[in-house]
Structure 1
Amino acid sequence: MSRFLKICRDFILPVVIGLLIAFAIKQFLFTIVKVDGSSMSPNLHNNERVALLKTAKIKRDLVIVFNANGVDGTKVFTNNSPVYYVKRVIALPGDTVKYTSKGNLYINGKKQSQSYITKKQRTTGTLDPINLTGKGFTLYSLGEQENWPKTYFKVPKNKYFVMGDNRAKSNDGRFWGLVPKSKVTGVVKVFPWNSHRSVINNYK
């Protein structure tokens, strides 16, 4: 074997294989992303780095990243470049949603904990920004009030209803509707030193 081939086998080939594996992992399985903004405060902070699992199953109450370009109809996007939002999944395909004037969330008629936010956030934080304090909402009434492109009685197939944890400051599904599955990049997981990891990584 020539010296050149030996160098290729012993040094260049392992490097190339390592780079290809790293690219595949980042492209299809796992990557690190940075939180931009305060819409998930205090559970996630601006500029905090989190892991994004691209193949994880999307479940209710988990936090996802999605491309809001073409989803958020309240903003004008100047080009086709992706603009990523970080929000919590409130309702899955097939779910009905009822949010009461007292700040209680019901999915398919079952009351949800919402322990990841304070009682104040459940009322003034959630209802004040959409002028529904003392009223509450369903998916249909919310869509009617906020002029969603389409209104729904329940979440349709391949779509999700999302909200930020910092609901008083979050531009989320309350204003513009549902997130298509095709726009979701992955599920967020935080590192062990995050004191709020229990309500991000495995909240139930």
Structure 2
Amino acid sequence: MSRSINFIKGFIIPIAGGLLIAILIRTFLFSLVKVDGYSMEPNLHNNERILLLKTAAIKRNSVIVFNANGVDGTTTFTNDKPTYYVKRVIAIPGDTVKYSKNGTLYINGKKQSQSYITKAQRVNETLGTTGLLGKGFTLSSIGEHENWPTTYYKVPNNKYFVMGDNRLKSNDGRFWGLVPKSKVTGVAKAFLWNPHHRLINNYK
């Protein structure tokens, strides 16, 4: 009897405790996820494994993962299974957005560098896919042009404006609007062996 108790105390309980801790960490703190698609190239690649921090603060230029069901109005989802997108946060609550015809991004009137993508991506690939090449956009103008469900002057509370880094191949906020905070599952972090990890993890 004592051997059974010692076995339970010395083997079963530590394993069960470790499993419980692992489940709690995965549920509430972080997990590994896989990039599906090409919308964040060249900074993140299709099938690349990334770390998802579930409680990290969302800031401008954070790369986030969110459930696109009910957000992406241009795509028809055939069931209730979540479909996750990986995109970069361009604007946070309270921000105004102006994207000029020459590919310059202004947030609250302040120029942003966008050095994480090329000049061609900033101009032709950002504006050409929306039919706004040579025009540029604001939140309200692109909302009207792309028939968002709601148009905005600035980003409201608990919402984010996002774009993919590979803007020629990215189905993002330019086409369907803003991401509710409730749909965000976490902030993505690339591993150090990704040569572009600083553009994902620490870009300001």
Structure 1 and Structure 2 fold alike (TM over 0.5): yes
Match of 2:10 in 1: 10
Provide the secondary structure at the position in 2 that maps to 1:103: coil
In structure 2, the gaps of 5 or more residues are none
Matched with 1:105 is 105
CA distance in 2, matches of 1:89, 1:155: 12
Aligned length, in residue pairs: 204
Counterpart amino acid of 1:126? Answer: T
1:27-66 matches, within 5 Å, as 27-66=27-66
The residue type paired with residue 106 of structure 2 is: Y
Aligned partner of 2:174 in structure 1 is 174
Whole-angstrom distance in 2 between the partners of 1:118 and 1:28: 36
Q: Which runs of 5+ in 1 are unaligned?
A: none
User: Map of 1:99-178 to 2, 5 A cutoff?
Assistant: 99-178=99-178
Superposition TM-score, scaled by structure 1 size:
0.99
Deviation at 1:4, TM superposition (A): 1.5
Alignment-mate amino acid for residue 122 of structure 2? R
Measure, in 2, the Cα distance between the counterparts of 1:120 and 1:75: 27
Out of 31-40 and 2-11, give the one that drifted further: 2-11
Report the AA paired with residue 106 of structure 1.
Y
Deviation at 1:162, TM superposition (A): 0.1
In structure 2, what is the Cα distance between the partners aligned to 1:77 and 1:2? 57
CA distance in 2, matches of 1:46, 1:145: 30
Report the AA paired with residue 119 of structure 2: K
Matches within 5 A, 1:78-93: 78-93=78-93
Map Cα deviations across residues 62-91 of structure 1 (whole Å, 9 max, x no partner). Answer: 100000001000011111111000000000
CA distance in 2, matches of 1:62, 1:158: 15
Deviation at 1:112, TM superposition (A): 0.2
Q: For the residues of structure 2 that align with 1:89 and 1:49, how far apart are their CA atoms?
A: 20
Q: Does 1:21 align with 2:21?
A: yes
Q: Which moved more, 1:2-11 or 1:90-99?
A: 2-11
Q: CA RMSD in A?
A: 0.7
In 2: Cα distance, 1:194 partner to 1:79 partner: 34
DSSP-derived class of the 2:46 partner:
coil
